[in-house]
Structures are given as C-alpha cells and as structure tokens.
Chain A
Amino acid sequence: MAEAQAFETDFWKDAQSRKGWDDIVPGEPRKTIPYTLTSEAIALYCKSVGETHPLYFDEAYARATRYGGLIAPPSIHIMLMFACTPADDWMRSPGTVNAGQSWSYNVPARPGDVIRLEARALDKFIKRERLFVVHDNVFFNQAGEVICSGRGWTIRPV
C-alpha cells in the first residue's frame, strides 16, 4: 500500500502545520485520503488486541457464514482514522488526549475495501480549563455503504 508505506510515524514532524484548538472550526470538513484496507493491516490490528476469531483469518470459515467472506473487526476504524487522514491532520497533534468515543456499526469493512472517510470537528468547548474538540466521522466502502460512524472527544494540547 502506497499510503501505508508513506505513513509518517514522527508526529512532531508536521506539528507546526496542524490546526490548534483556536484554529479548529466546528463544521469544517477535515482533509481525508482514500485507503485500501489490506489483510496485513487487519492481521496486525488483530494481533495488537488479541483478536483470533476465524471470521478475520479463515477464508473458508468466513465464506460459510452470513458474512460470505473475510471481514475486519468492527474496531478497525481505530487504524482507519489515521490511515485515511494526512500527516497535518490535527488528530495527530502530540499531546492530543482521547477522552472517549462512541461508534455505530453498519456493514463490516473487508480486506480490499477502498475506504473513504468524511470527517469534521463537530464542536469545541472549554471544561475545567481543558480545551475539548468533538470530532465526527463516517467511513464508507467503495460501494458507498456506511461501514461505521462515530464521535470522539479529545482534549487538545496547549
């Protein structure tokens, strides 16, 4: 995957080009990048949380289920959030603290899916002297079906 190979793991590198809390405009779309989900990325994610269900690994097993083939775990959106956004996205600002998230799941993501993200800041507020931003995200597959949608609450670095 070209996108995966190009992924910048040094989150300091583009820190100056990212929006701070003051610059984030609720309602304004974030830049996103289509991403082709690979079996390798699914396997690595599964390994990191100990997922072993055959729906994610065993093609013959998965084909015989209601899903008709391999799928990714629902929580694969955790990596899709970073795979589908550019290096200057403010979600990568060092010190961004995740306070909580909520996600709804529709159709599963599958290996080979070309996944598209529509994302924006939905709200920002100050609470107990902390600077919060609420982000709002929807992932789609290549057929335009919603994979999942979710919101997250982050405390922004100062």
Chain B
Amino acid sequence: MTVTFEGLSAGDSIEGPSFAVSRESIRLFCDASLDYNPLHLDDDYMKGSFGKTQFGGVIMHGMNNFGLISRMITDWAYPAGAIHRRLETRWVKPVRPGDTIQPSGIIKSKQVTAKARWVVIDVIVRNQNEERVATGEAMVEFPA
C-alpha cells in the first residue's frame, strides 16, 4: 500500500532491510566508500587502545548504518513521491563481523510549512540481540 501524507500517523512504523555483517561486507564497504581506515581492516591494530576506547577487533563503518537507514527511508518515500531530505545519526555501539543489523523507523510527527509537508521519523538500528547500535532522526518531504 502506497504511503500518503494524510494517511500517516505518529507511531506508524517502517521496517528496513536486514543486513548480515561479515568481513567481506566490511571490505566491500571499504572499496565502495573509499574509507580504508584500519579500524575496519586490521585485527592487530584493533587489539590496541584508542585513547579511552577499546574495540578488540575490526568494526563495521558507522556510515554503513547510515547507508542502510538511508536505503530504508528512500525505498519508503519514493513510491509516495516523497523526498528524503535529512538524516541525523549517532553511533551507540560498535557492529562486528557476524552481527545482523536492521534499521527501523517510527513516525514521530507531521508538519505543514509554507511550501511543503514534512514527516519526522525516529530511526534506530538494532543488532541480532535487539541492542541499539545506532539512533537518529530523518525528515521526508511530501509534495504539497
């Protein structure tokens, strides 16, 4: 069913794609994003200490979460003729090879401005243990 601005209510949910994280998926994201930070490649390096943070092994790019959330929002918005206008994210917990993550969204509010109609969406990415690994907020513009 195609989403419409009128038909949306606060609390409505959006389900995003499940994503299996592996060394291969992380390496592919290195090649695709051009981000070859050793955080994502080098186990020996990741055994070390990063100031106040220890990871213990390679981690997925935080922006891989961002890309998955963005995919969820656009796939939801395009059929409605709506446009993904904003995404703000914070990384809460590292994601590691072997994890399976999934973004989801909950409609937070709707607002009509002088020239457009907006939907604000709370977004979250959870791992296979239902732990939050990323949170954020998105804005989608619906045609007036």
Contact = CB atoms under 8 A, between A and B. Distances in A.
Given A48-B67, A49-B67, A78-B67, A83 B34 contact: yes
A68 to B, nearest CB: 14
A142 interface: no
Interface of B: 17, 19, 25, 28-39, 45, 50-53, 61-64, 66-68, 70-71, 74-75, 78, 81, 83-91, 136
Nearest to A65: B78
Interface centre among B17, B39, B70, B88 (most CB of A within 10 A): B70
Given A100-B91, A103-B87, A157 B33 contact: no
29 contacts: A9-B34, A9-B36, A11-B37, A11-B38, A45-B32, A47-B28, A48-B31, A49-B29, A49-B70, A49-B71, A50-B17, A51-B67, A73-B67, A73-B74, A74-B70, A74-B84, A75-B67, A78-B33, A79-B35, A92-B36, A92-B37, A99-B90, A100-B136, A101-B63, A101-B89, A105-B83, A129-B52, A130-B53, A155-B50
B34 A98 contact: no
Given A49-B67, A50-B71, A128-B52, A105 B86 contact: yes
A25 B135 CA distance: 29
Contacts of A44: 31-32
Given A48-B31, A73-B71, 19 more contacts: A9-B30, A10-B36, A11-B36, A45-B32, A47-B28, A48-B33, A50-B68, A51-B67, A78-B35, A78-B66, A78-B67, A82-B35, A92-B37, A94-B37, A96-B39, A100-B88, A100-B136, A101-B63, A102-B87
